[in-house]
Amino acid sequence: MLKYFFKRLLHGIPVLIAVATLTFIIMRLVPGGPFDEEKKLPPEILANIKAKYHLDQPVITQYLLYLRQLVQGDMGPSYKYIGRDVSDIISDTFPVSITLGLLAMLVVLGVGIPVGVWSAYRQNSIVDRGCVFFSTLGISVPSFVLGTLLVWLMSHELNWFPPALWEGPRHMILPALALGAPFSGYIARLTRSAVLEVLASDYIRTARAKGLTEPIILFKHTLKNSIYPIVSVVGPLTAGLVTGSFVIEFIFSIPGMGSFFITAVTNRDYPLIMGVTLVYALLIVLANILVDIIYMWLDPRVRV
Amino acid sequence: MNLLSKLSVGFLFVVISAAVFAPWIAPYSYETQDTFNTLATPSLNHLMGTDRLGRDLFSRLIYGTRVSLFIGVSTTLLALFVGTIYGAVSGYAGGRTDSVMMRFVDVIFALPDMLMIILITVMMGRGVSGVFIALTLVSWVTVARLVRGEVLRIKEYTYVEAAHALGSGNFRILTQEVLPNILGLLVVTLTFRIPVAILAESTLSFIGLGIAPPFSSWGTLANEGWQAIKFYPHLILFPSLAIFLTILSFNFLGDGLRDYLDPRNQARFG
């Protein structure tokens, strides 16, 4: 298992290098640079700044320099937050974003799976139709629409939750809901179809025939066998939550990586853009590896 | 098709008509200012109220439909076109070509897509073309993967073998035998991908990085409304509703189409 884990980790490295390369190309393809400001700097100073950040060198040299730096674990200094390294900014903002992501994941699975199971158990009833209808509503509502609605209703009108910032558990509820709810509709639909398939199988009929109680059939036989499709989408789901979080961070003024990414892009803060993109990509790669390992642990048939 | 799909078709028809006939439907132009009536609440004069500059929200929403819908539909069509060709060639060629081509797709797939869309849009200069290029570049890989999978399956069928035996060339087999069989999949994919594109564009414009003035999409309007949400919630309500209902309709339509085109579903022959 450990050997498999390291092998997968090794496979992730070329992906990360490719991500770095593509990001680098996109950043440099377009004219203009981080120090082209409205207030023109004297040419000597500009030249000095550029020399300091190696921006005076050919692009390919800059690329190789960056990669060499990166391999040594150094993501370079930020161009705009003077005196701060990209790794400092990331270690400040990463915990915020990951907390938000994990809470949202909790919402996604905690709402999606029970609703899906309930819906499947009452197939074609009013409950089922209601669940399917509401999960399609959930899939269709953009998280920024839900987020702004929650802010307006829960903060401005009812005053139940704070509308912004990230200072305690009360600040986390609305963002996690806004980020997670759209995805939970998707999980509910997936769970429903997986459970329906299992419920129609022979071994469930056998379990019923030998008189097992419903809770045992549900937890020991049905859920255990319908969990695979859900586990397999947790990887893409993580990617969705991770890259979806910056809108939520924007709405709720949360000081996470997403907020910094947006400012970094508008400022052309190359090292910061690179750093955040790479951390996000690494997260997605790791999530996919984790999912495969859980899958192997659950299903003896795919064990190596 | 079920009732929800039919209702969705009706709603989408209204939305598309609004986009096409915007100048005839909208009561005002999108930049006319009613300076005595700024930030008005909905009334008979201004069905959805007016914004900070006294511009009629209903008219701006109708013009915004043009931008949002154009981007949603055109990027999806282009992504579908590129993705289908790429996926079909890759799947049909198989072997080494296939694995090299798919490795490239995997890399693009591993990119955090929304980040790339933001990056490309801002770098290209905010505007319709930037958003268009960004969305297309990121979304064609999904189509390529889907199509490749289908082609891999179809090319093993005996009718493809028969076409080979009858002396058809590869191009003829692809266009005459394989493509007609994935048409259903393509239609369903189109219906499900358009809302994804609309969502991405509106999200981008909502955070202020997408469509730039003087053009405005639904997302831009939502962004303007967001800045005044505490006291004038109607300004964000209507654009949000437009985005939500449009995406919802496409999803219901997609569900209906998928069931309808499913060969296991016999109802349509009855």
Q: Is the predicted pLDDT of residue B80 greater than 80, yes or no?
A: yes
Q: Is the predicted pLDDT of residue B1 greater than 60, yes or no?
A: yes
Interchain CB contact of A17 with B (< 8 Å): no
Q: Average the pLDDT over each of A162-166, B5-9, B118-122, B145-149 and give the range with the smallest value.
A: A162-166
Taking the CA of residue B107 and the nearest CA in chain A, the distance in Å comes to 6
pLDDT band at B76 (very low <50, low <70, confident <90, very high): very high
Other residues' Cβ atoms within 10 Å of the Cβ of residue B182? 21
Q: Is the predicted pLDDT of residue B222 greater than 90, yes or no?
A: no
Q: Which of A175, A172, A167 is nearest to A147 (CA)?
A: A175
Q: State the maximum Cα–Cα separation within chain B, in Å, rounded to a whole number.
A: 77
Q: Which of A270, A250, A30, A33 is nearest to B125 (CA)?
A: A30
Ramachandran angles phi, psi of B80, nearest 5°: -65, -40
**Which residues in chain B are contacts of A156 at CB distance < 8 A?**
229-230, 233
The b/e string for B211-243 (b: 16+ C-beta within 10 A; e otherwise) is: bbeebbbbbbbbbbbbeebeebbbbbbbbbebb
Q: Please name every residue paired with A85 in a beta bridge, in sequence order, or none if there are none.
A: A77
Contact B222 A243 (CB under 8 A): no
Please provide the average confidence, as pLDDT, over all residues in chain B: 83
Task: List, as one string, the DSSP characters of A250-296.
Answer: HHTT--SHHHHHHHHHHHT-HHHHHHHHHHHHHHHHHHHHHHHHHHH
**Which residues in chain A are contacts of B255 at CB distance < 8 A?**
136
Q: What is the mean pLDDT of residues B90-99?
A: 88
Other residues' Cβ atoms within 10 Å of the Cβ of residue B256? 20
Q: What is the mean pLDDT of residues A162-179?
A: 80
- What is the C-alpha separation between A174 and A120, in angstroms, rounded? 29
Contact A243 B236 (CB under 8 A): no
Q: Which of A187, A171, A206, A63 is nearest to A119 (CA)?
A: A187
Name the residue facing B118 among A156, A265, A285 (closest C-beta). A265
> In a 10 Å sphere around its CB, with 0-12 CB exposed, 13-18 middle and 19+ buried, how is residue A82 labelled?
exposed
Other residues' Cβ atoms within 10 Å of the Cβ of residue A268? 19
Contact B107 A23 (CB under 8 A): no
pLDDT attached to residue A211: 83
A268: its two tokens = 């052309």
Contact A140 B244 (CB under 8 A): yes
pLDDT band at A198 (very low <50, low <70, confident <90, very high): confident
Contact B114 A246 (CB under 8 A): yes
- What is the C-alpha separation between B105 and B101, in angstroms, rounded? 7
Is pLDDT larger for residue A47 or for residue B18?
A: B18
pLDDT attached to residue B77: 94
| Top-ranked range on mean pLDDT: pick from A129-138, A211-220, B44-53, B77-86 | B77-86
- What is the C-alpha separation between B214 and B177, in angstroms, rounded? 47
A213: its two tokens = 């109680």
pLDDT digits (tens, 9 = 90+) for A144-156: 888 888 888 777 7
pLDDT attached to residue A38: 59
Q: Which of A53, A55, A66 is nearest to A24 (CA)?
A: A66
Q: Is the predicted pLDDT of residue B46 greater than 60, yes or no?
A: yes
Task: Output the pTM of the full model.
Answer: 0.85
Q: What is the mean pLDDT of residues A272-295?
A: 84
Other residues' Cβ atoms within 10 Å of the Cβ of residue A81? 17
Q: Is the predicted pLDDT of residue A239 greater than 90, yes or no?
A: no
Q: Please name every residue paired with A77 in a beta bridge, in sequence order, or none if there are none.
A: A85
pLDDT band at A37 (very low <50, low <70, confident <90, very high): low
Q: Is the predicted pLDDT of residue B75 greater than 90, yes or no?
A: yes
- What is the C-alpha separation between A245 and A105, in angstroms, rounded? 11
pLDDT attached to residue B269: 45
pLDDT band at B106 (very low <50, low <70, confident <90, very high): confident
Q: Which of B186, B208, B185, B202 is nearest to B245 (CA)?
A: B202
Q: Is the predicted pLDDT of residue B270 greater than 60, yes or no?
A: no
pLDDT attached to residue B82: 94
Is pLDDT larger for residue A300 or for residue B246?
A: B246
pLDDT digits (tens, 9 = 90+) for A59-74: 787 788 787 877 777 7
- What is the C-alpha separation between B78 and B193, in angstroms, rounded? 11
